[in-house]
Structure 1
Amino acid sequence: MIYKVYTKRIVDILFSLTALSMAWPIIAISILAIKLSSEGPVFFTQNRVGLNGKTFRIYKLRTMSVDINRKIRQTSQADSEVFGAGKILRRLKIDELPQIFNVLIGDMSMVGPRPCLEVTKQEMPEWALRRFELRPGMTGLAQVSGNVSLSWQRRWEFDVCYVEKCSFATDVRIILKTLFVVLFGEDRFRSA
C-alpha cells in the first residue's frame, strides 16, 4: 500500500526526469520528421480519464493527418490517416514520449492502466472502474500482454489485475517487457 500511495510517485518523478534527459534528442528528431512529412501541429493532445476518474490532457507526437471531422476510434499503424514518419513513431512507441511530461506533473505514472477516453469509461462495467484507483501509465500490464489485439474486456481485466498486484517489482518487470515490445513488436507478447 505504501508503494501505491507514496513511493510510486517518487519513483515516477525520478524515472521521468531520467527518461526526459535521454529522450529529448529522439523527441527533437521526431519533431523534425513530423514537420517534414506532414502539415499541422507537432503535438496531439486529447482529454483522457485518469486517477479517480479525473480528466486531464494527454500529450503525444502527432502521427496522423489532421482531420477535424474524424470520428474517435481505435487507430492502428495500417490506417491510411497515419503518415509515413507516423508509422515509424507508432511502431517504436516514440509518439508516446511526450507523456513523460504527464508523468512529471502527476497526471500519469510510468506504469499503470492506459488512460482512456470518457466514452470508453462510460462503456465499462462497474468492476472495471477499479482501474481508476491508480494513475494511468505510459505502459501497463495490458500493453505488454497484447494491447490492441485484446478485447476491451480483457484489457480491463489486466488493468484491474495490475491495480491489485501493483508493486515496485511488478513495475520493473512491465518496464523491461515494454522495452522488448518496442524492439520486437506487440505480436510476440500476446497473452491468452
Structure 2
Amino acid sequence: MTSRQRLLKRSFDIIVSAIALTCLWWIILIAFIIAAIETRGNGFFVQTRVGLNGQLFSLFKIKTMRPSATHMTTITTSNDPRVTFSGRFFRRTKIDELPQLFNVLIGDMSLVGPRPDVIGYADRLQGIDSRILMLRPGITGPATLKYKNEEMLLAAQKDPKRYNDEIIWPDKVRINGNYFDTWSFQQDLIYLWRTISS
C-alpha cells in the first residue's frame, strides 16, 4: 500500500466514522444504558487488543456478557452462558460493535481490515504473515465476512478453542494476508456494503 493509498484510506475512515457517530450516537447511548442495567456495571466493554505495528490499544464495545468465574476463555460461542438477554440482540444486530467507530475516528482502527485480536494471536505472527500488522485492524473485512457465523460454528465443535486455533485462525491469517497483498479502495467499499446489507 502506497503512502497515497494510506492517506486515502485514513481520510475515508475519519469522514465516515465522524458522520456515523453523529447519526448513531443515540443508539450507542441507549445500548450503553441497557447494558449497564443488565450487567450492573459499565455498559462499555473495554479490552486490550493488538493493533497497527503490534501496538496495543483499548477496543470499545457495548458490554454483552456477564463476568463468570467458570468461563474464562476469550473464545465465544453462540450458546455461551455469559451472554446477556440484551447482549444476544446487540450481537445479532452488531449494535455492540458501534463504539468501535470511536476507535476508527482516533486512529486505532480502520473501517475495513483484519479484526483486532487479543494478545496471543496477532502479536505472535512471524515471517511474511507479520505483514498483516502493517494494517490498522478493522471493524469488518474479508475474514470477518467469511466467518460472520463464527460463534455458531464454534458452538458445534467439541473443543471450540482448539478448532479456532487450528482451523479458523490460520484461515483468517491467509485471508488477511491476501487482503494486504491485493488492497484497493474499491474493494473496501464492497466489503462495507456487504457488511451493511447482510
What pairs up with 1:1-192 in 2 under 5 angstroms?
1-67=2-68, 70-147=71-148, 148=150, 149=153, 151-181=168-198
RMSD, aligned α-carbons: 1.8
Residues 69, 48 of structure 1: alpha-carbon distance in 2 compared, 3 angstrom cutoff: farther
CA contact (8 A) 1:40 1:66 kept: no
Query: SS where residue 47 of structure 1 aligns?
Result: strand
Q: Deviations over 1:132-163 (max 9, x none)?
A: 11100011110112243471111111111111
Query: SS where residue 145 of structure 2 aligns?
Result: coil
Structure 2: gaps of 5 or more residues: 154-166
Deviation at 1:117, TM superposition (A): 1.3
Deviation at 1:69, TM superposition (A): 7.2
Residues 9, 83 of structure 1: alpha-carbon distance in 2 compared, 3 angstrom cutoff: same
Letter in 1 for 2:143: A
Separation in structure 2 between the aligned mates of residue 69 and residue 12 of structure 1, nearest angstrom: 39
In the alignment, what sits opposite 1:190? none
Separation in structure 2 between the aligned mates of residue 159 and residue 108 of structure 1, nearest angstrom: 15
Residues 5, 68 of structure 1: alpha-carbon distance in 2 compared, 3 angstrom cutoff: farther
Structure 1: gaps of 5 or more residues: 182-192
Deviation at 1:167, TM superposition (A): 1.6
Deviation at 1:70, TM superposition (A): 4.8
In the alignment, what sits opposite 1:187? none
Aligned residues: 181
In the alignment, what sits opposite 1:186? none
Q: Deviations over 1:71-102 (max 9, x none)?
A: 23211332010010000111111111111111
Q: Deviations over 1:37-70 (max 9, x none)?
A: 2222111111111111111111111000024775
Separation in structure 1 between the aligned mates of residue 37 and residue 120 of structure 2, nearest angstrom: 33
Separation in structure 2 between the aligned mates of residue 176 and residue 4 of structure 1, nearest angstrom: 20
**Worse overlay, 29-38 or 162-171:** 29-38
Could you tell me the TM-score, scaled by structure 2's length?
Answer: 0.84
In the alignment, what sits opposite 1:184? none
CA contact (8 A) 2:122 2:133 kept: no
Residues 67, 172 of structure 1: alpha-carbon distance in 2 compared, 3 angstrom cutoff: same
Query: SS where residue 44 of structure 1 aligns?
Result: strand
CA contact (8 A) 2:103 2:109 kept: yes
Query: SS where residue 46 of structure 1 aligns?
Result: strand
Separation in structure 1 between the aligned mates of residue 28 and residue 123 of structure 2, nearest angstrom: 33
